[in-house]
Amino acid sequence: MQVFAYVRVSTKEQNVERQIEALKQFDIPKRNVFIDYQSGKDFDRPEYKKLIKKLRNGDLLVLKSVDRLGRNYTEILSQWRRITKEIGADILVLDMELLDTRKKNGDLTGVLIADLVLQILAYVAQTEREFIHQRQAEGIAAAKAKGTRFGRIPKQMPDGFDNACKMIATGEMSIREAAESLGISLSTFYRHYRKVKSNTRKYET
């Protein structure tokens, strides 16, 4: 059996020493410590991939905390099963002693409790995400009801825009000439002119 450790921080500017210090009690060889300087949003990480290739049945993977493994609990559950069920290695999370799949007194209590705790954590995380989205939607709806507008503020057209539109309709001026006379880009002028034109075609004769 070999003992491995996985350490992760989001950027190279962040310090990994706190995690390394917590792992010292296991006297893990440096070659078995895998460190990623990358976001935990998914598992597309170079050192994590190397670790998975090294793990064997009966090995132990030590983590400082479960969020070092990842941030997305749906994917954490998938990787947890991959390591403990498919590979057959154990996982120990130092910050949460219930997340320890090692057999206790020869039975499977550790595995069962760890799986249950992780599923509860995943459920809580998913529920919290849904609550956040719901609160955001409710907040936006309430703000809109009060007249708050979202998105980019429409650009105001210069004085003379209405007159330029009339002159285009009568053939006295081209769209390009109108845009140049107002000092705005052709695309900006045309976008607003098209809206005005489609609005009951009020400038056509």
Active site residues: 10
3-state secondary structure of 10: coil
Q: Which residues pair with 107 in a beta bridge?
A: 104
Residue in this structure with the two tokens 């491995």, named with its chain if needed:
4
Distance of alpha carbon 190 from the chain centroid: 37
Q: Quick check: 110 and 103 in contact, CB under 8 A?
A: yes
Structure tokens at 65: 């905390």
Q: How far apart are the C-alpha atoms of 75 and 73, rounded to whole Å? A: 5
- Tokens coding 12: 């190279």
Q: What is the DSSP string of 66-87?
A: HHHH-S-HHHHHHHHHIIIIII
